Amino acid sequence: MALTDAIIRNVKPKTKDYQLYDILGLSLNVTSSGTKSFKFRIMKEGKRHNITLGQYPYLFGTKKCGHTI
């Protein structure tokens, strides 16, 4: 599923944290409190590692936070 701005904006929190997946390794993590953050999963030396890329909407510069990535 392509994680468009419209889809992400309308995602609602659930009682447990969950993930929505876009391309291989990229996910949107939604917490029960409603925080939305992007993570990228990689394999390094046979182990999975999650790299947090940033929170929505700040990652895309849709909110003014002083800089845009």
So where are the chain's domains?
Answer: 5-60
What is the percent of the chain with per-residue pLDDT over 90, rounded to a whole number?
A: 62
The arrangement of secondary structure in 5-60, i.e. its CATH architecture, is 2-Layer Sandwich (3.30)
Distance CA 69, CA 27 (A): 18
pLDDT digits (tens, 9 = 90+) for 16-40: 999 999 888 899 999 999 999 999 9
The pLDDT, as a whole number, for residue 69 is: 41
Nearest alpha carbon to residue 53 among 22, 19, 28? 28
